[in-house]
Structure 1
Amino acid sequence: MKDVKAYIESGILELYVLGDISAEEKAHVEEMAANYAEVRAEITEIERSMEFYAEEHAVEPSEQLRTKVLNSLLVNLGDDNTFTKSRTHQDDDNVVALPVARVNSFYKYAFAACLTLLLVSIYGLVNLYTKLQDSNSQLTALQTDKQRFANQVNLMDSQLNMYRDTAYKVLKLKGMPKTPTAAMILAWNSVSKKVMVDMQTLKLPQHDQKHQYQLWALVGGKPVDMGVFDAPKADSTAGVKEMKAIASADAFAVTLEPMGGSVNPTIDQMVVIGKF
Protein backbone atom coordinates (compact mmCIF):
# COMPACT_ATOMS: atom_id res chain seq x y z
CA MET A 1 0.00 0.00 0.00
CA LYS A 2 2.93 2.33 0.64
CA ASP A 3 4.08 1.79 -2.94
CA VAL A 4 0.58 2.65 -4.21
CA LYS A 5 0.48 5.82 -2.11
CA ALA A 6 3.91 6.86 -3.33
CA TYR A 7 2.85 6.11 -6.89
CA ILE A 8 -0.22 8.34 -6.49
CA GLU A 9 1.84 11.17 -4.99
CA SER A 10 4.48 10.97 -7.74
CA GLY A 11 2.41 13.17 -10.08
CA ILE A 12 2.21 10.58 -12.86
CA LEU A 13 -1.60 10.47 -12.59
CA GLU A 14 -1.93 14.23 -13.26
CA LEU A 15 0.26 13.84 -16.36
CA TYR A 16 -1.87 10.87 -17.42
CA VAL A 17 -5.04 12.95 -17.24
CA LEU A 18 -3.34 15.72 -19.23
CA GLY A 19 -2.12 13.19 -21.81
CA ASP A 20 1.52 14.20 -21.39
CA ILE A 21 3.12 10.77 -20.87
CA SER A 22 4.58 8.13 -23.14
CA ALA A 23 2.70 5.07 -24.37
CA GLU A 24 4.60 2.83 -21.92
CA GLU A 25 3.77 5.10 -18.97
CA LYS A 26 0.13 5.27 -20.05
CA ALA A 27 -0.11 1.46 -20.21
CA HIS A 28 1.45 1.21 -16.75
CA VAL A 29 -1.00 3.74 -15.27
CA GLU A 30 -3.96 1.88 -16.76
CA GLU A 31 -2.59 -1.38 -15.35
CA MET A 32 -2.26 0.17 -11.90
CA ALA A 33 -5.78 1.59 -12.17
CA ALA A 34 -7.12 -1.86 -13.04
CA ASN A 35 -5.37 -3.45 -10.06
CA TYR A 36 -5.88 -0.75 -7.41
CA ALA A 37 -9.14 1.01 -6.60
CA GLU A 38 -7.19 3.85 -4.95
CA VAL A 39 -5.52 4.66 -8.27
CA ARG A 40 -8.86 4.62 -10.14
CA ALA A 41 -10.43 6.88 -7.52
CA GLU A 42 -7.52 9.32 -7.68
CA ILE A 43 -7.74 9.53 -11.49
CA THR A 44 -11.48 10.22 -11.26
CA GLU A 45 -10.90 12.92 -8.64
CA ILE A 46 -8.19 14.58 -10.77
CA GLU A 47 -10.49 14.63 -13.82
CA ARG A 48 -13.34 16.08 -11.76
CA SER A 49 -11.08 18.77 -10.27
CA MET A 50 -9.81 19.82 -13.68
CA GLU A 51 -13.34 19.99 -15.07
CA PHE A 52 -14.46 22.06 -12.09
CA TYR A 53 -11.49 24.42 -12.46
CA ALA A 54 -12.18 24.87 -16.15
CA GLU A 55 -15.88 25.60 -15.52
CA GLU A 56 -15.15 28.04 -12.67
CA HIS A 57 -12.56 30.03 -14.61
CA ALA A 58 -14.13 29.87 -18.05
CA VAL A 59 -14.20 33.29 -19.72
CA GLU A 60 -16.90 34.05 -22.24
CA PRO A 61 -15.21 35.65 -25.28
CA SER A 62 -16.67 38.81 -26.73
CA GLU A 63 -18.80 38.60 -29.86
CA GLN A 64 -16.13 40.45 -31.85
CA LEU A 65 -13.37 38.02 -30.77
CA ARG A 66 -15.58 34.97 -31.50
CA THR A 67 -16.34 36.23 -35.00
CA LYS A 68 -12.67 36.98 -35.68
CA VAL A 69 -11.54 33.47 -34.60
CA LEU A 70 -14.26 31.71 -36.63
CA ASN A 71 -13.43 33.73 -39.73
CA SER A 72 -9.75 32.89 -39.26
CA LEU A 73 -10.55 29.18 -38.99
CA LEU A 74 -12.66 29.29 -42.15
CA VAL A 75 -9.89 31.03 -44.07
CA ASN A 76 -7.25 28.55 -42.86
CA LEU A 77 -9.53 25.60 -43.67
CA GLY A 78 -10.03 26.94 -47.18
CA ASP A 79 -6.29 27.35 -47.66
CA ASP A 80 -5.67 23.78 -46.45
CA ASN A 81 -8.27 22.35 -48.86
CA THR A 82 -6.77 24.28 -51.78
CA PHE A 83 -3.30 23.13 -50.90
CA THR A 84 -4.40 19.49 -50.61
CA LYS A 85 -6.20 19.56 -53.95
CA SER A 86 -3.22 21.13 -55.70
CA ARG A 87 -0.94 18.47 -54.27
CA THR A 88 -3.15 15.58 -55.45
CA HIS A 89 -3.14 16.86 -59.04
CA GLN A 90 0.63 17.08 -59.30
CA ASP A 91 2.12 14.87 -61.95
CA ASP A 92 5.53 14.66 -60.38
CA ASP A 93 5.50 11.32 -58.53
CA ASN A 94 9.14 11.67 -57.56
CA VAL A 95 8.37 14.29 -54.93
CA VAL A 96 8.35 12.68 -51.51
CA ALA A 97 6.42 14.40 -48.74
CA LEU A 98 8.43 15.10 -45.61
CA PRO A 99 6.99 13.69 -42.39
CA VAL A 100 5.30 16.23 -40.21
CA ALA A 101 7.24 16.85 -37.06
CA ARG A 102 5.40 15.70 -33.97
CA VAL A 103 4.82 18.55 -31.54
CA ASN A 104 5.35 17.65 -27.92
CA SER A 105 1.93 17.77 -26.23
CA PHE A 106 3.56 19.10 -23.07
CA TYR A 107 4.04 22.53 -24.62
CA LYS A 108 0.47 22.55 -25.87
CA TYR A 109 -0.95 21.93 -22.43
CA ALA A 110 1.57 24.26 -20.83
CA PHE A 111 0.52 27.05 -23.19
CA ALA A 112 -3.14 26.39 -22.46
CA ALA A 113 -2.49 26.47 -18.73
CA CYS A 114 -0.54 29.74 -19.00
CA LEU A 115 -3.27 31.30 -21.10
CA THR A 116 -5.89 30.23 -18.57
CA LEU A 117 -3.88 31.67 -15.68
CA LEU A 118 -3.38 34.91 -17.63
CA LEU A 119 -7.12 35.31 -18.23
CA VAL A 120 -7.88 34.52 -14.59
CA SER A 121 -5.28 37.07 -13.46
CA ILE A 122 -6.72 39.76 -15.74
CA TYR A 123 -10.22 39.03 -14.45
CA GLY A 124 -8.99 39.25 -10.86
CA LEU A 125 -7.17 42.53 -11.50
CA VAL A 126 -10.26 44.07 -13.10
CA ASN A 127 -12.39 43.04 -10.12
CA LEU A 128 -9.79 44.38 -7.69
CA TYR A 129 -9.59 47.70 -9.54
CA THR A 130 -13.38 48.01 -9.49
CA LYS A 131 -13.50 47.31 -5.76
CA LEU A 132 -10.76 49.86 -5.11
CA GLN A 133 -12.67 52.49 -7.09
CA ASP A 134 -15.83 51.74 -5.10
CA SER A 135 -13.88 51.96 -1.84
CA ASN A 136 -12.39 55.32 -2.82
CA SER A 137 -15.84 56.66 -3.72
CA GLN A 138 -17.27 55.49 -0.41
CA LEU A 139 -14.33 57.00 1.49
CA THR A 140 -14.80 60.35 -0.27
CA ALA A 141 -18.52 60.30 0.53
CA LEU A 142 -17.81 59.51 4.19
CA GLN A 143 -15.29 62.35 4.43
CA THR A 144 -17.81 64.75 2.88
CA ASP A 145 -20.50 63.65 5.32
CA LYS A 146 -18.07 64.01 8.21
CA GLN A 147 -17.20 67.57 7.19
CA ARG A 148 -20.87 68.48 6.76
CA PHE A 149 -21.73 67.10 10.20
CA ALA A 150 -18.80 69.01 11.72
CA ASN A 151 -20.04 72.23 10.12
CA GLN A 152 -23.55 71.63 11.43
CA VAL A 153 -22.21 71.03 14.93
CA ASN A 154 -20.19 74.24 14.78
CA LEU A 155 -23.26 76.19 13.63
CA MET A 156 -25.37 74.74 16.40
CA ASP A 157 -22.68 75.64 18.93
CA SER A 158 -22.68 79.20 17.60
CA GLN A 159 -26.45 79.42 17.97
CA LEU A 160 -26.42 78.01 21.48
CA ASN A 161 -23.64 80.36 22.55
CA MET A 162 -25.59 83.30 21.11
CA TYR A 163 -28.73 82.45 23.08
CA ARG A 164 -26.80 81.62 26.25
CA ASP A 165 -24.88 84.90 26.27
CA THR A 166 -26.89 87.34 28.40
CA ALA A 167 -25.29 90.29 26.58
CA TYR A 168 -27.40 89.42 23.53
CA LYS A 169 -30.93 90.75 23.20
CA VAL A 170 -33.11 88.40 21.19
CA LEU A 171 -35.73 90.06 19.00
CA LYS A 172 -38.44 88.36 16.95
CA LEU A 173 -39.43 90.24 13.80
CA LYS A 174 -43.03 89.64 12.68
CA GLY A 175 -44.57 89.75 9.21
CA MET A 176 -46.38 92.68 7.65
CA PRO A 177 -50.04 92.58 6.52
CA LYS A 178 -49.08 91.42 3.02
CA THR A 179 -46.63 88.82 4.44
CA PRO A 180 -48.42 87.57 7.58
CA THR A 181 -46.53 84.24 7.74
CA ALA A 182 -43.08 85.83 7.52
CA ALA A 183 -40.93 85.71 10.67
CA MET A 184 -37.32 86.17 11.68
CA ILE A 185 -35.19 86.08 14.84
CA LEU A 186 -32.06 88.14 15.39
CA ALA A 187 -29.79 88.76 18.36
CA TRP A 188 -28.05 92.05 19.08
CA ASN A 189 -25.15 92.49 21.48
CA SER A 190 -25.00 96.12 22.61
CA VAL A 191 -21.54 95.54 24.11
CA SER A 192 -19.77 94.00 21.10
CA LYS A 193 -22.22 95.72 18.68
CA LYS A 194 -22.71 92.41 16.85
CA VAL A 195 -25.97 91.61 15.10
CA MET A 196 -26.64 87.93 14.34
CA VAL A 197 -29.52 86.58 12.22
CA ASP A 198 -30.78 83.06 12.99
CA MET A 199 -30.98 81.64 9.44
CA GLN A 200 -32.50 78.31 10.48
CA THR A 201 -35.62 79.92 11.91
CA LEU A 202 -35.92 82.36 9.01
CA LYS A 203 -39.36 82.29 7.36
CA LEU A 204 -39.29 84.70 4.44
CA PRO A 205 -40.77 84.28 0.95
CA GLN A 206 -38.36 83.06 -1.72
CA HIS A 207 -37.16 85.76 -4.11
CA ASP A 208 -35.74 85.78 -7.64
CA GLN A 209 -32.06 86.12 -8.54
CA LYS A 210 -32.40 89.86 -9.14
CA HIS A 211 -33.35 90.67 -5.54
CA GLN A 212 -32.04 90.22 -2.01
CA TYR A 213 -33.33 90.89 1.48
CA GLN A 214 -31.80 93.85 3.28
CA LEU A 215 -31.71 94.36 7.05
CA TRP A 216 -32.25 97.85 8.45
CA ALA A 217 -31.73 99.21 11.96
CA LEU A 218 -33.98 102.10 13.00
CA VAL A 219 -31.96 104.61 15.03
CA GLY A 220 -33.86 107.73 16.12
CA GLY A 221 -36.43 107.07 13.42
CA LYS A 222 -33.81 106.88 10.65
CA PRO A 223 -32.95 103.62 8.77
CA VAL A 224 -29.35 102.37 8.87
CA ASP A 225 -28.12 99.73 6.39
CA MET A 226 -27.14 96.47 8.13
CA GLY A 227 -26.33 94.40 5.03
CA VAL A 228 -28.06 92.05 2.61
CA PHE A 229 -28.79 88.31 2.72
CA ASP A 230 -30.70 85.67 0.77
CA ALA A 231 -33.59 83.56 1.95
CA PRO A 232 -32.20 80.05 2.56
CA LYS A 233 -33.59 77.17 0.56
CA ALA A 234 -35.61 74.37 2.13
CA ASP A 235 -32.63 71.98 2.30
CA SER A 236 -30.19 74.63 3.55
CA THR A 237 -28.08 73.92 6.64
CA ALA A 238 -27.20 77.57 7.30
CA GLY A 239 -26.89 78.47 10.98
CA VAL A 240 -26.37 82.10 11.92
CA LYS A 241 -25.30 85.04 9.78
CA GLU A 242 -23.42 88.02 11.20
CA MET A 243 -24.60 91.36 9.84
CA LYS A 244 -23.05 94.82 10.16
CA ALA A 245 -22.32 96.05 13.69
CA ILE A 246 -24.27 98.81 15.36
CA ALA A 247 -24.00 100.46 18.78
CA SER A 248 -27.66 101.27 19.34
CA ALA A 249 -31.01 100.57 17.68
CA ASP A 250 -34.67 101.07 18.46
CA ALA A 251 -35.97 98.49 16.00
CA PHE A 252 -35.00 96.27 13.06
CA ALA A 253 -36.80 95.67 9.76
CA VAL A 254 -36.24 93.74 6.52
CA THR A 255 -37.14 94.87 2.98
CA LEU A 256 -36.83 93.23 -0.40
CA GLU A 257 -34.35 95.20 -2.50
CA PRO A 258 -32.53 94.86 -5.83
CA MET A 259 -29.40 92.68 -5.83
CA GLY A 260 -26.69 94.32 -3.72
CA GLY A 261 -29.09 96.41 -1.63
CA SER A 262 -30.34 99.99 -1.69
CA VAL A 263 -29.27 103.25 -0.07
CA ASN A 264 -32.76 103.79 1.34
CA PRO A 265 -35.35 101.12 2.19
CA THR A 266 -38.29 100.46 -0.13
CA ILE A 267 -41.12 100.85 2.39
CA ASP A 268 -43.78 99.06 0.36
CA GLN A 269 -41.41 96.03 0.13
CA MET A 270 -41.04 95.64 3.91
CA VAL A 271 -41.65 92.01 4.95
CA VAL A 272 -40.88 91.91 8.72
CA ILE A 273 -40.28 94.39 11.56
CA GLY A 274 -39.56 94.20 15.29
CA LYS A 275 -39.09 96.71 18.08
CA PHE A 276 -37.41 96.41 21.49
Structure 2
Amino acid sequence: MNSKEIIESGDLELYVYGALPENESAEIAALSKKDSTVLNEIVSIEKSVINLSSSIAPALSAGVFQSIKERLDMGGGNVVQMNSRLSITPYLGWAASVALLVGVALQYNKVADAQSEIGTLQNEKSTLQKSVVELELEKQQTVVALDVIRDSQNTVVSLAGQAAAPNATAKIYWNQKTQKVYVDASGLPEPPKGKVYQIWSLKLVPALTPTSIGLLNDFTKNPGKVFAVEGTGDAQAFGITLEPAGGSKSPTMEQLYTLGKV
Protein backbone atom coordinates (compact mmCIF):
# COMPACT_ATOMS: atom_id res chain seq x y z
CA MET A 1 0.00 0.00 0.00
CA ASN A 2 1.11 3.59 -0.58
CA SER A 3 1.20 6.19 2.17
CA LYS A 4 -2.34 7.46 1.44
CA GLU A 5 -3.83 3.97 1.62
CA ILE A 6 -2.02 3.20 4.88
CA ILE A 7 -3.22 6.49 6.43
CA GLU A 8 -6.85 5.83 5.42
CA SER A 9 -6.78 2.18 6.47
CA GLY A 10 -6.81 2.91 10.20
CA ASP A 11 -3.73 0.75 10.80
CA LEU A 12 -1.74 3.74 12.05
CA GLU A 13 -4.17 4.26 14.95
CA LEU A 14 -3.79 0.57 15.85
CA TYR A 15 0.00 0.94 15.53
CA VAL A 16 -0.02 3.87 17.98
CA TYR A 17 -2.07 1.82 20.47
CA GLY A 18 0.25 -1.17 20.00
CA ALA A 19 -2.66 -3.31 18.77
CA LEU A 20 -1.14 -4.49 15.47
CA PRO A 21 0.56 -7.86 15.02
CA GLU A 22 4.30 -7.66 15.48
CA ASN A 23 5.14 -8.13 11.77
CA GLU A 24 2.70 -5.40 10.63
CA SER A 25 3.92 -3.05 13.34
CA ALA A 26 7.52 -3.60 12.15
CA GLU A 27 6.51 -2.81 8.56
CA ILE A 28 4.88 0.50 9.55
CA ALA A 29 7.91 1.41 11.71
CA ALA A 30 10.21 0.76 8.76
CA LEU A 31 7.97 2.70 6.38
CA SER A 32 7.81 5.71 8.73
CA LYS A 33 11.59 6.02 8.52
CA LYS A 34 11.39 6.23 4.74
CA ASP A 35 8.13 8.19 4.27
CA SER A 36 7.80 11.52 6.09
CA THR A 37 4.05 11.65 5.37
CA VAL A 38 3.48 8.44 7.29
CA LEU A 39 5.77 9.59 10.10
CA ASN A 40 3.95 12.93 10.39
CA GLU A 41 0.58 11.13 10.52
CA ILE A 42 1.85 8.85 13.31
CA VAL A 43 3.13 11.82 15.29
CA SER A 44 -0.19 13.64 14.73
CA ILE A 45 -2.16 10.65 15.98
CA GLU A 46 0.09 10.26 19.02
CA LYS A 47 -0.28 13.92 19.98
CA SER A 48 -4.06 13.72 19.49
CA VAL A 49 -4.29 10.65 21.72
CA ILE A 50 -2.26 12.35 24.44
CA ASN A 51 -4.34 15.54 24.25
CA LEU A 52 -7.60 13.58 24.38
CA SER A 53 -6.29 11.39 27.15
CA SER A 54 -5.27 14.40 29.25
CA SER A 55 -8.27 16.67 28.69
CA ILE A 56 -11.28 14.42 28.07
CA ALA A 57 -11.05 10.80 29.12
CA PRO A 58 -7.63 9.67 30.41
CA ALA A 59 -8.10 5.98 29.61
CA LEU A 60 -4.58 5.17 28.43
CA SER A 61 -2.47 2.88 30.56
CA ALA A 62 0.70 4.37 32.01
CA GLY A 63 2.81 2.15 29.73
CA VAL A 64 1.10 3.19 26.48
CA PHE A 65 1.10 6.86 27.51
CA GLN A 66 4.85 6.78 28.30
CA SER A 67 5.63 4.92 25.05
CA ILE A 68 3.88 7.54 22.95
CA LYS A 69 5.49 10.38 24.91
CA GLU A 70 8.98 8.93 24.39
CA ARG A 71 8.41 8.59 20.65
CA LEU A 72 7.33 12.23 20.48
CA ASP A 73 10.43 13.28 22.43
CA MET A 74 12.63 11.30 20.06
CA GLY A 75 11.18 13.25 17.16
CA GLY A 76 13.07 16.32 18.36
CA GLY A 77 10.10 18.05 19.92
CA ASN A 78 8.75 19.18 16.56
CA VAL A 79 5.07 19.90 16.82
CA VAL A 80 3.09 18.51 13.95
CA GLN A 81 -0.25 20.20 13.40
CA MET A 82 -3.19 17.87 13.86
CA ASN A 83 -5.14 17.04 10.76
CA SER A 84 -8.69 18.28 10.83
CA ARG A 85 -9.69 14.71 10.09
CA LEU A 86 -8.86 11.95 12.55
CA SER A 87 -8.81 8.48 11.03
CA ILE A 88 -10.74 7.16 14.05
CA THR A 89 -13.73 9.39 13.24
CA PRO A 90 -15.46 6.86 10.90
CA TYR A 91 -15.38 4.28 13.71
CA LEU A 92 -16.95 6.75 16.11
CA GLY A 93 -19.66 7.49 13.54
CA TRP A 94 -20.48 3.83 13.11
CA ALA A 95 -20.55 3.34 16.88
CA ALA A 96 -22.95 6.26 17.28
CA SER A 97 -25.20 4.89 14.51
CA VAL A 98 -25.31 1.45 16.12
CA ALA A 99 -26.09 2.99 19.52
CA LEU A 100 -28.90 5.04 17.95
CA LEU A 101 -30.40 2.00 16.23
CA VAL A 102 -30.25 -0.02 19.45
CA GLY A 103 -31.93 2.83 21.34
CA VAL A 104 -34.68 3.14 18.73
CA ALA A 105 -35.27 -0.63 18.77
CA LEU A 106 -35.52 -0.68 22.57
CA GLN A 107 -37.92 2.27 22.54
CA TYR A 108 -40.06 0.61 19.85
CA ASN A 109 -40.25 -2.59 21.88
CA LYS A 110 -41.28 -0.63 24.97
CA VAL A 111 -44.05 1.13 23.02
CA ALA A 112 -45.23 -2.16 21.51
CA ASP A 113 -45.28 -3.83 24.94
CA ALA A 114 -47.23 -0.88 26.39
CA GLN A 115 -49.79 -1.00 23.57
CA SER A 116 -50.21 -4.75 24.02
CA GLU A 117 -50.72 -4.30 27.76
CA ILE A 118 -53.30 -1.55 27.14
CA GLY A 119 -55.17 -3.85 24.73
CA THR A 120 -55.17 -6.65 27.30
CA LEU A 121 -56.48 -4.34 30.03
CA GLN A 122 -59.23 -3.04 27.73
CA ASN A 123 -60.32 -6.61 26.93
CA GLU A 124 -60.33 -7.48 30.63
CA LYS A 125 -62.34 -4.33 31.36
CA SER A 126 -64.92 -5.22 28.67
CA THR A 127 -65.21 -8.76 30.00
CA LEU A 128 -65.66 -7.48 33.54
CA GLN A 129 -68.32 -4.98 32.46
CA LYS A 130 -70.17 -7.74 30.60
CA SER A 131 -70.03 -9.96 33.67
CA VAL A 132 -71.39 -7.15 35.86
CA VAL A 133 -74.30 -6.59 33.47
CA GLU A 134 -75.06 -10.31 33.35
CA LEU A 135 -74.96 -10.57 37.14
CA GLU A 136 -77.24 -7.57 37.51
CA LEU A 137 -79.73 -9.08 35.04
CA GLU A 138 -79.60 -12.42 36.83
CA LYS A 139 -80.16 -10.65 40.14
CA GLN A 140 -83.22 -8.85 38.79
CA GLN A 141 -84.64 -12.10 37.39
CA THR A 142 -84.04 -13.84 40.71
CA VAL A 143 -85.85 -11.06 42.58
CA VAL A 144 -88.83 -11.36 40.22
CA ALA A 145 -88.91 -15.13 40.61
CA LEU A 146 -88.83 -14.92 44.40
CA ASP A 147 -91.60 -12.30 44.43
CA VAL A 148 -93.76 -14.52 42.22
CA ILE A 149 -93.21 -17.64 44.32
CA ARG A 150 -93.80 -15.84 47.62
CA ASP A 151 -96.96 -14.05 46.48
CA SER A 152 -99.76 -15.74 48.45
CA GLN A 153 -102.32 -14.37 45.97
CA ASN A 154 -100.97 -16.59 43.21
CA THR A 155 -102.67 -19.80 42.15
CA VAL A 156 -99.99 -22.38 41.36
CA VAL A 157 -100.78 -24.74 38.48
CA SER A 158 -98.41 -27.66 37.96
CA LEU A 159 -98.00 -28.80 34.36
CA ALA A 160 -97.03 -32.43 33.76
CA GLY A 161 -95.08 -33.87 30.83
CA GLN A 162 -97.01 -35.19 27.83
CA ALA A 163 -96.27 -37.67 25.05
CA ALA A 164 -93.89 -35.30 23.20
CA ALA A 165 -91.77 -34.83 26.34
CA PRO A 166 -92.73 -37.17 29.21
CA ASN A 167 -90.06 -35.82 31.55
CA ALA A 168 -90.88 -32.15 31.04
CA THR A 169 -92.49 -30.12 33.84
CA ALA A 170 -93.50 -26.50 34.37
CA LYS A 171 -95.44 -24.31 36.78
CA ILE A 172 -97.88 -21.48 36.20
CA TYR A 173 -98.19 -18.70 38.82
CA TRP A 174 -101.52 -16.98 38.16
CA ASN A 175 -102.78 -14.04 40.17
CA GLN A 176 -106.52 -14.13 39.43
CA LYS A 177 -106.97 -10.70 40.98
CA THR A 178 -104.43 -8.88 38.82
CA GLN A 179 -104.58 -11.46 35.99
CA LYS A 180 -100.76 -11.55 35.86
CA VAL A 181 -99.27 -14.85 34.77
CA TYR A 182 -95.72 -16.11 35.27
CA VAL A 183 -94.25 -19.34 33.93
CA ASP A 184 -91.52 -21.31 35.69
CA ALA A 185 -89.97 -23.18 32.75
CA SER A 186 -86.96 -24.61 34.59
CA GLY A 187 -88.30 -28.14 33.99
CA LEU A 188 -88.35 -27.76 30.20
CA PRO A 189 -85.43 -28.87 27.99
CA GLU A 190 -83.54 -26.35 25.86
CA PRO A 191 -85.63 -25.68 22.73
CA PRO A 192 -84.05 -26.72 19.40
CA LYS A 193 -82.69 -24.00 17.12
CA GLY A 194 -85.50 -22.27 15.25
CA LYS A 195 -88.11 -23.34 17.82
CA VAL A 196 -89.80 -21.56 20.74
CA TYR A 197 -92.09 -22.53 23.60
CA GLN A 198 -95.60 -21.07 23.38
CA ILE A 199 -97.94 -20.75 26.39
CA TRP A 200 -101.67 -21.40 26.00
CA SER A 201 -104.58 -20.49 28.25
CA LEU A 202 -107.22 -23.21 27.76
CA LYS A 203 -110.98 -23.32 28.20
CA LEU A 204 -112.17 -26.92 28.41
CA VAL A 205 -116.01 -26.47 28.28
CA PRO A 206 -118.17 -26.32 26.41
CA ALA A 207 -115.30 -26.99 23.95
CA LEU A 208 -111.51 -26.89 24.02
CA THR A 209 -110.55 -23.29 23.24
CA PRO A 210 -106.82 -22.36 23.30
CA THR A 211 -105.62 -18.75 23.57
CA SER A 212 -101.96 -17.86 23.19
CA ILE A 213 -100.66 -15.77 26.09
CA GLY A 214 -96.99 -15.53 25.14
CA LEU A 215 -93.72 -16.98 23.91
CA LEU A 216 -90.71 -17.94 26.00
CA ASN A 217 -88.20 -15.99 23.90
CA ASP A 218 -84.49 -15.78 24.80
CA PHE A 219 -84.79 -19.03 26.70
CA THR A 220 -81.02 -19.49 27.07
CA LYS A 221 -80.52 -15.90 28.28
CA ASN A 222 -82.87 -16.32 31.25
CA PRO A 223 -80.92 -18.20 33.95
CA GLY A 224 -83.88 -18.38 36.35
CA LYS A 225 -86.25 -19.55 33.58
CA VAL A 226 -89.12 -17.49 35.06
CA PHE A 227 -91.04 -15.62 32.35
CA ALA A 228 -93.83 -13.06 32.52
CA VAL A 229 -96.57 -13.66 29.91
CA GLU A 230 -99.91 -12.04 29.09
CA GLY A 231 -102.75 -12.14 31.58
CA THR A 232 -105.82 -14.31 31.36
CA GLY A 233 -109.18 -14.16 33.08
CA ASP A 234 -110.97 -17.38 32.29
CA ALA A 235 -108.36 -20.13 32.10
CA GLN A 236 -109.41 -23.63 33.09
CA ALA A 237 -106.03 -25.16 32.15
CA PHE A 238 -102.63 -24.21 30.80
CA GLY A 239 -100.48 -25.92 28.20
CA ILE A 240 -97.06 -25.42 26.64
CA THR A 241 -96.20 -26.44 23.08
CA LEU A 242 -93.03 -26.29 21.00
CA GLU A 243 -93.64 -24.12 17.94
CA PRO A 244 -91.63 -22.58 15.07
CA ALA A 245 -89.88 -19.30 15.93
CA GLY A 246 -92.47 -16.53 16.08
CA GLY A 247 -95.19 -18.85 17.36
CA SER A 248 -98.34 -20.34 15.86
CA LYS A 249 -102.02 -19.28 15.65
CA SER A 250 -103.10 -22.58 17.14
CA PRO A 251 -101.20 -25.15 19.22
CA THR A 252 -99.38 -28.02 17.52
CA MET A 253 -100.82 -30.84 19.60
CA GLU A 254 -98.13 -33.30 18.47
CA GLN A 255 -95.64 -30.93 20.19
CA LEU A 256 -97.59 -30.54 23.46
CA TYR A 257 -94.88 -30.68 26.12
CA THR A 258 -96.82 -29.97 29.33
CA LEU A 259 -100.45 -29.63 30.44
CA GLY A 260 -102.22 -28.95 33.72
CA LYS A 261 -105.67 -28.03 35.01
CA VAL A 262 -106.35 -25.07 37.30
* TM-score (normalizing by structure 1): 0.58
Equivalent AA in structure 2 for residue 170 of structure 1: V
In structure 2, what is the equivalent of residue 202 of structure 1?
187
Answering whether residue 118 of structure 2 is matched by residue 132 of structure 1, we say yes
Q: 1:184 offset after TM fit, Å?
A: 0.9
Q: 1:219 aligns with which of 199, 203, 207?
A: 203
8 Å CA contact retained: 1:251, 1:275: yes
AA matched with 2:176: S
1:180 aligns with 2:166: yes
Sort the Cα spacing of 1:23 and 1:262 in 2 relative to 1 into closer, same or farther, 3 A: closer
- Taking only the aligned residue pairs, the percentage that are identical comes to 22
Aligned match of 1:249: 235
Are the aligned partners of 2:239 and 2:258 in contact in 1 as well (CA < 8 Å)?
yes
Alpha-carbon displacement from aligned partner over 1:215-236 (angstroms, at most 9, x marks no partner): 1112353322212335945x86
Q: Which of 216, 230, 249 in structure 2 is aligned with 1:229?
A: 216
Instruction: Count residues in correspondence.
Output: 189
Tell me: CA distance 1:23–1:155, structure 2 relative to 1, closer, same or farther (3 Å).
same
Counterparts of 1:268 and 1:117, CA distance in 2: 75
2:250 alignment partner AA:
N
Q: Hey, what does 1:156 align to over in structure 2?
A: 142
Instruction: Compute the TM-score of the two structures, normalised by the length of structure 2.
Output: 0.61
Question: Compared with structure 1, are the counterparts of its residues 26 and 145 closer, same or farther at alpha carbon in structure 2 (3 Å cutoff)?
Answer: same
Instruction: Tell me the distance in 1 between the aligned counterparts of 2:106 and 2:228.
Output: 61
User: How far is 1:33 from its partner?
Assistant: 9.3
Answer yes or no: is 1:30 the counterpart of 2:30: no
User: Is contact 1:169-1:189 (8 Å) kept?
Assistant: yes
The equivalent of 2:74 in structure 1 is none
User: How do residues 62-73 of structure 1 correspond to structure 2 at under 5 angstroms?
Assistant: none
> 127-136 vs 216-225, which deviates more?
216-225
Deviations 1:194-242 (A, max 9, x none): 111123x132473452x43321112353322212335945x86254221
> Which whole-Å CA distance do the structure 1 matches of 2:190 and 2:137 have between them?
26
Contact 2:191 2:197 in 1 (8 A): no
CA shift in 2, pair 1:141/1:113, >3 Å:
same
Quick one: which amino acid aligns to residue 200 of structure 2?
W
* Pairs within 5 Å for 1:3-42: 22-24=48-50, 25-26=52-53, 29-31=59-61
Q: Deviations over 1:236-268 (max 9, x none)?
A: 625422111112322111223444333333334
| Larger-Rg structure | 2
Is 1:266 equivalent to 2:252 in the alignment?
A: yes
Corresponding position of 1:84? none
Contact 1:156 1:239 in 2 (8 A): no
Q: Distance in 2 between matches of 1:33 and 1:190?
A: 111
Within 5 Å, give how 1:17-166 maps onto structure 2.
Answer: 22-24=48-50, 25-26=52-53, 29-31=59-61, 101-102=85-86, 104=89, 106-166=92-152
Which whole-Å CA distance do the structure 2 matches of 1:29 and 1:208 have between them?
81
1:207–1:110 Cα change, 3 Å: closer
- How far apart, CA to CA, are the structure 1 residues paired with 2:137 and 2:104? 49
